Amino acid sequence: MSLPQPSPISVQSGELSKNEYSQDERRLLLGLAHESILSALEDREIALEPPSPHLAEPRGVFTTLHLEGELRGCVGYVLPSSSLYRAVAETARAAAFEDTRFYPVTLEEAPRLEIELSVLSVPQPIQADAVEVGRHGLLISMGGRRGLLLPQVPVEHHWDRITFLEQTCRKAGLPADAWHKGAAIEAFTAEVFGEGRTD
C-alpha cells in the first residue's frame, strides 16, 4: 500500500539527542501515523511489525495533530509500553478519534492533517531549579493527579521556568504553586519532529 507523502520535516527544540532518528525514519513514522488514521476511517488493518530493530525499541511517544494551523488532537504514552513503531500507530489513532476535547477526525479532514511526533526519554525526578525551558518536558503529580507538558509547549508560549512549572500543575488540576508544596516533579527530554512547521 502507498503511504501519504509527508510534508517537509522540521526539528523542534527539546530534542532527545541530535539525529537519533534519521530523516528516513522520521518520514516512515510520520507516514505510519497518517496511514494509521486513514486505515481506521476505511476500516482496514495495517501491519504493525517494526521494520527495523531501532524502531522496535520501546519508547514513550506523543502524537499531535494540527489542521489548518489549529490543534486537532494530542494523545501519547509517557512510559514505553510497546515498540515505538506500534506506539506511533496507536497514539495517532487515539489523537484522531479519542481526544475528548475534539470531535473525531473525518475522512475529509484526514489528508489535510499535519502531524508532529515527540519521542520521549523516561521521566526522571528533578529539582525545580534544574528545569530548563526548551530542553525538558515536565510531569508533575500529587494526590493521584498528574499533568504533563511537552518540551515545545513553554517555548511556543514564551513561558519562563516558573510559569512552565505552574502551568504543568494546572494541567494536573492542582494549584499553580503545588510544584513547591510537595508535588513530585519529573522531567524528560524529547526528539520532536513534524510536518509543516517552520518555527
Residue 41, helix vs strand vs coil: helix
Quick one: pLDDT at residue 81? 87
Give 81 or 98, the one with higher predicted confidence: 98
pLDDT digits (tens, 9 = 90+) for 10-41: 333 333 345 689 999 999 999 999 999 999 99
pLDDT band, residue 105 (cuts 50/70/90)? very high
Q: How confident is the model at residue 196 (pLDDT cuts 50, 70, 90)?
A: low
Coil, strand, or helix at residue 190?
A: strand
DSSP character string of 110-151: GGG-EEEEEEEPPPEE--GGG--TTT-EEEEEETTEEEEE-T
The reported pLDDT for the residue numbered 6 is 37
Share of the chain above pLDDT 70, in %: 88
Rounded CA separation 66/107 (Å): 15
Q: pLDDT at residue 74 above 90? A: yes
Give me the domains of the chain, ranges plus CATH numbers.
9-121+191-195 (3.30.700.20), 124-190 (3.30.1490.150)
Amino acid 25: pLDDT: 96
Q: What pTM was computed for the model?
A: 0.80
pLDDT in tens, 151-189: 999 999 999 999 999 999 999 999 999 999 999 999 999
pLDDT band for position 145 (cuts 50, 70, 90): very high
What are the helix (H) ranges across the chain?
A: 23-41, 53-56, 84-97, 152-157, 161-171
Q: Which residues are within 8 A (CB) of 44 and not within 5 positions of it... i.e. 6 or more apart? A: none
Cα 38 to chain center, whole Å? 19
Mean pLDDT score of the chain: 89
CA–CA distance, 37 with 107 (Å, rounded to integer): 9
